[in-house]
Amino acid sequence: MEEGWCLSVINIKLIGLTKRFGTITAVDNINLDIERGELFTILGPTGAGKTTTLKLIAGLLKPDEGEIYFDGQLVNDVPPEERDVGFVFQGYALFPHMTVWENVTYGPLVRGMDPEKVERIGREILSKVHLLERADSYPRELSGGMQQRVALARALASGSKLLLLDEPLSALDARLREELRFELRNIVKETGATAIQVTHDKYEALQLSDRIAILRKGKVVQVDTPMNLFTKPNSIFVANFICDMNFFEGIVKKVSGEGAIIELRGGPLVKTLDRTHRVGERVVVAVRFEDVEIKPGETKRPYAIYGKVERISFLGPFIRIEVLLDNGEEVSVKLPATIGYKFELGDRVTTFLKPTKIIVYSYPRAGLAEELIVE
Amino acid sequence: MQVINLFGKKINVRSFLSRIFLTATLISLGIFVFLPTFYLISFTFLGWNEVYREVFANPLIGDEHWQQIKGILIFSFRIALISVLIDILIGIPLGYILARKNFRGKGVIEDLVTLPLVIPTSAFGFATLITWTTIAGIGGFLGLGRGLVELNYVVPIVKIPFLILIVHVTLTFPYIVRIFKSKLEELNPEFEIASRSLGASVFTTFRSIAFPQALPGLFSGAVLAFARSLGETGATIIVAGVNTTASIAIVKWELEFKIAPASFLGFLLIVIASSMILPVEYVVSRERSTSSLPNLTEMLKIEKYLLKFEKNVSRKLYWIKEVVSFIFIGVCVILPILVVLNSVVLYWNADPYTGKIEGGVIYQLFGPANYFKSLIRATAVSLIVAAVSTYISVCIGIAAVIIIEKYRFCRSIRSLLKVPLVVPTSTLGLSMILLWGPKGLGLVNPGIWLIILTHIVFSVPVVVESTLASYEGSDVEVYEEAARSLGATPYDVAETVTLPIIKRGIFTGAILSFTHSLGETGATFIVMGRDATVSTLVVNMVEALAIPAALFASTYLIALSLILLFAFRKISKG
């Protein structure tokens, strides 16, 4: 990377970060360590405090409590223009009265760089996002995807140590969004910048990020790699938010060397390998849609649960079947379309929760329904 | 669709009615607003021989009138130009503070900025006069034993009488502040946040991001301020001393029956005002107007120093904009009002310096001069004029808004309606009396009816402007379409959807037009005959040197306008 806009890559440390608006605590005692060059995502439902966290890091808001360190330096009192962060806004905030070129070179210019250097940075960064030939266009003349790339280029061109992306793809339509995910990751990774992205789209987070922090009501619930989050969600909230899962209440009946038997409401038993819960404990059994077996008719087998097909949704390559179980609960099953086609509404079926895939959680204090709210 | 048979032709009732509505609206706009505005132009052309003889080739004085007109015009333009420049210097920081900061007492500051728009100018001119030039004002507070400045003190370099300048700046700066502020408020604050996160200081951000985008607003505000300064009569006539501005000259010449030079000067003012406002309207109303500033890179040589300077200013001198703005408001808006109130108390029984009861407010009001009776009568005239002209203007205004929004070819009416707002009011008065008065059509004699007709001319644009603003700011069309799709007729839609939604805009416009009418002096002077309004009465009192009576009348007018300001605020903020 050439000198000029080569980013001096930094790490970020947040300690006990708290921000209140009136009586609402938008960000509640957040502790995070973000590595050099990491593409880190803060994921959470609307109103979880994601954008507030981002603005605190950028210096656009002042924290009520806690500390923010850039490379070990406390930056709490540094004004935004001296923090050297590149902020990409949800709506891009491209200056409408300036051309693409003027937008991109604005940062270097106001930081007082030499004209030749400004020129070089502008060319380099615009060719990186493939927009050099559109340098004289105004933002309104560009497509949504192009505007997004200009916004990214502008943030990179100011030589920032840190890229902050506030829902960078949310203003684009669904198809373009999927295409641009990889491009965004490539550009950021090529520059080697540390980047923090905020989003409420789990697919975006899972595809793009090195690590993800799940935020709920201002608190960090789990920080991990996408793979670990998906396979080992540490709470019912994360499981529900990240994966498509069925949840059942139950009580542990028996714990033995090879696993545990749990009785669901209304009597059906399920088997699991998880032995961490005591006999008699109230628990929640979670299993992914795709980890439920389904057979037509009523087949006798241990730990089977019977029911009838209530709803069938066609999802392209997959079919989702919702079954009303005889105990009154519902279970969703995801099948490849090639197998799923043989089920019809009202069919009696046998379902079976795969013991190896079942995750068991202690029953939450606030109740199961409360944990499943994602808005 | 109902169809009726008229004169043997089948006619669709609905389109027939809407055509009648369109025609009636266009005709009333023409008669009540545009004809008076532009009549002076045709009058000057039709009587060109006479005008030419009087102005350029008078057998006795030659082209003396032309020389006077030239001098007066240059003088007026100098005043307007310098006033607008000062307005801009004060208006930018003040507009920025009001748009971007939140602080205790912001509402009060906003009211104080609006006050000069609603205050009767003659009362305000009088307040400024005694504040600066008499012992009752600043001079007295400082213990000088005389006024702080002489009446005819001229500011060096710009060569403008100090009092005229201060009155014009105070009466015109609200235009710039209000328009600039609302432009800034429309702007997405994310642009400024983005700029700061890219490394620009607060000041640099303002200069390169917010300012260029709000520039069209500043521009149209400046044009309005310039026109207002050019046409200002009420306050100027009181503080002018030996000086004559264009609008005062028209009033004086009309009263001296020098119709030819007066109408020629008025003609020039109308032409200048329209040629100023119409291009600006065109530029500002175009949506894709990007104010392309000179490229930053090209100016980079000074850019670096500028950036450093701006960084320092942003850090250390950030308080200066607040201090400048608040001192200006304090000295130019609050102080004159306080001085008047204070003086009324001092002069209540007798002149505090000589002890004569003839110099007291009570004696002048109820003594032989009996100004109290004139004041009561003038109040009645003012209120009737304001109420009737506002009512008629609202009726014409709503109809005008509807045709402007419904018919494409009526769009230009909106720009044309800006002209009466910038034409100096004394010119308008002259135009009215020449058109309707004994020398013209002979339909209306000078008096209360002619005042009402005159006030309608500038009240209609005020109502239209504020109603249009609320029409366009509330997506009315979507609701109208929804109502139509639910089965409402166009009339139902107007009554049950459109009018209730734009109600606030109409009320705001009505109050503004009411206050304009109450405070108007320049035109009223010419057309009032013997039916004086309160604001013209103040001028008469000052000219008759009945200072204590003028003090009382000014206090009375200021109190009235404060009440209206309160109403204005209640309505415009909901």
- From B199, B212, B297, residue closest to A107, measured CB to CB: B199
Sequence-distant (6+) residues with CB within 8 A of A153 are: A104, A125, A126, A128, A129, A131
Q: Is the CB of residue B190 less than 8 Å away from at least one CB of chain A? A: yes
Model confidence band, residue B297 (pLDDT cutoffs 50, 70, 90)? very low
For residue B123, which of B412, B549, B566 has the smallest C-alpha distance?
Answer: B549
Cβ contact (<8 Å) for B188 and A102? no
For every residue of A300-311, DSSP letters joined together read --TTEEEEEEEE
Percent of chain A with pLDDT over 90: 24
Q: Is the CB of residue B313 less than 8 Å away from at least one CB of chain A? A: no
Q: Given this model, what pLDDT does residue A223 score? A: 94
**Cα A162 to Cα B199: distance, rounded to the nearest angstrom:** 13
- From A81, A109, A154, residue closest to B196, measured CB to CB: A81
H helices of B188-346, in order, are 189-197, 202-205, 211-231, 234-239, 246-255, 259-285, 300-316, 320-329, 335-346
Most confident range (mean pLDDT) of A219-228, B241-250, B500-509 is A219-228
Q: Is the CB of residue B17 less than 8 Å away from at least one CB of chain A? A: no
User: Which domains, from first to last, does chain A contain?
Assistant: 12-236 (3.40.50.300), 244-365 (2.40.50.100)
Q: What is the mean pLDDT of chain A?
A: 87
In the CATH scheme, what architecture does the domain B26-37+347-574 have?
A: Orthogonal Bundle (1.10)
What average pLDDT does this structure show over B271-277? Answer: 82
Model confidence band, residue A13 (pLDDT cutoffs 50, 70, 90)? very high
CA–CA min distance A79, chain B (Å): 9
What letter would DSSP give residue A292?
Answer: E
Cβ contact (<8 Å) for A102 and B196? no
Chain A partners within 8 Å of B292 (Cβ): 97
Cβ contact (<8 Å) for A93 and B293? no
Chain A partners within 8 Å of B199 (Cβ): 81-82, 84, 107, 110-111, 158
- From B191, B200, B308, residue closest to A81, measured CB to CB: B200
Residue B141 has pLDDT above 80, yes or no: no
pTM (2 d.p.): 0.78
Range(s) within chain B of domains with CATH label 1.10.3720.10? 26-37+347-574, 69-346
Residue A219 has pLDDT above 70, yes or no: yes
Between A327 and B6, whose confidence is greater?
A327
Cα separation of the two ends of chain A: 42
Percent of chain B with pLDDT over 70: 94
Sequence-distant (6+) residues with CB within 8 A of B119 are: B519, B557, B558, B561
What average pLDDT does this structure show over B510-536? Answer: 88
CA–CA min distance A97, chain B (Å): 6
The pairs formed by B73-77 with CB atoms below 8 angstroms and a separation of 24 or more are B73/B246, B73/B265, B73/B268, B75/B243, B75/B244, B75/B245, B75/B246, B76/B230, B76/B245, B76/B246, B76/B247, B77/B230
Chain A partners within 8 Å of B206 (Cβ): none
Q: Which residue of A has its CA nearest to B214?
A: A97
Residue A40 has pLDDT above 90, yes or no: yes
What average pLDDT does this structure show over B364-373? Answer: 83
Pick among A109, A113, A162, A166 to test the B interface (most B CBs inside 10 A): A109
Q: What is the mean pLDDT of chain B?
A: 84
Q: What angle do CA A68, A70, A74 make, to 5 degrees?
A: 50
Cβ contact (<8 Å) for A106 and B308? no
Q: Given this model, what pLDDT does residue B573 score? A: 67
Cβ contact (<8 Å) for B307 and A118? no
Chain A partners within 8 Å of B290 (Cβ): 96-97, 138
Residue B469 has pLDDT above 50, yes or no: yes
**Cα B128 to Cα B538: distance, rounded to the nearest angstrom:** 13
Edge to edge, the sheet with strand A162-166 lists A85-88, A162-166, A194-199, A39-43, A211-216, A219-224
- Per-window interface: B 502-521 vs A, CB < 8 A: none
CA–CA min distance B192, chain A (Å): 9
For residue B132, which of B330, B334, B329, B335 has the smallest C-alpha distance?
Answer: B335
Residue B290 has pLDDT above 50, yes or no: no
Model confidence band, residue B10 (pLDDT cutoffs 50, 70, 90)? low
Q: Given this model, what pLDDT does residue B415 score? A: 83
Q: Is the CB of residue B299 less than 8 Å away from at least one CB of chain A? A: no
Cβ contact (<8 Å) for A109 and B291? no
Taking only the tens place, the pLDDT of each residue in A347-375 is: 899 999 888 888 899 888 888 888 888 76
Taking only the tens place, the pLDDT of each residue in B472-487 is: 877 788 888 888 777 7
**Cα B111 to Cα B21: distance, rounded to the nearest angstrom:** 39
Lowest-confidence pick of A322-336, B276-290, B428-442? B276-290
**Cα B302 to Cα B299: distance, rounded to the nearest angstrom:** 6
Chain A partners within 8 Å of B304 (Cβ): 112
Q: Is the CB of residue A154 less than 8 Å away from at least one CB of chain B? A: yes
Taking only the tens place, the pLDDT of each residue in B181-233 is: 888 888 888 888 888 888 888 888 888 888 888 888 888 888 889 988 988 88
Cα separation of the two ends of chain B: 40
- From A58, A111, A115, residue closest to B199, measured CB to CB: A111
Q: Given this model, what pLDDT does residue B28 score? A: 92
What average pLDDT does this structure show over A97-109? Answer: 87
**Cα B498 to Cα A292: distance, rounded to the nearest angstrom:** 57
> What Cα–Cα distance (Å) separates residue A220 from each residue in A110, A160, A224?
36, 26, 11
Cβ contact (<8 Å) for B197 and A81? yes
- From A86, A95, A138, residue closest to B209, measured CB to CB: A95
Residue B291 has pLDDT above 50, yes or no: no
Cβ contact (<8 Å) for A81 and B297? no
**Cα A179 to Cα A146: distance, rounded to the nearest angstrom:** 13
Cβ contact (<8 Å) for B198 and A60? no
CA–CA min distance A115, chain B (Å): 7
Chain B partners within 8 Å of A80 (Cβ): 193, 196-197
Residue B292 has pLDDT above 50, yes or no: no
B178, B93 Cβ separation under 8 angstroms: no
| CATH 1.10.3720.10 matches B69-346 | yes
Taking only the tens place, the pLDDT of each residue in B444-455 is: 888 899 999 999
Between B541 and B58, whose confidence is greater?
B541
Q: What angle do CA B320, B325, B326 make, to 5 degrees?
A: 100
Q: Given this model, what pLDDT does residue B300 score? A: 56
Pick among A57, A75, A81 to test the B interface (most B CBs inside 10 A): A81
- From B199, B290, B303, residue closest to A138, measured CB to CB: B290
Q: Which amino acid is at A84?
A: D
Q: Crossing angle, helix B425-436 and helix B211-231, to 10 degrees?
A: 50
Taking only the tens place, the pLDDT of each residue in B150-183 is: 777 788 777 888 899 999 999 999 989 988 888 8
Cβ contact (<8 Å) for A97 and B197? no
Q: Is the CB of residue B496 less than 8 Å away from at least one CB of chain A? A: no
A328: which 2 tokens? Answer: 């009154």
**Cα A24 to Cα A28: distance, rounded to the nearest angstrom:** 10
The radius of gyration computed from the CA coordinates of chain A, to the nearest angstrom, equals 25
Lowest-confidence pick of A44-53, A291-300, B196-205, B280-289? B280-289
Cβ contact (<8 Å) for B213 and A97? yes
A42, A166 Cβ separation under 8 angstroms: no
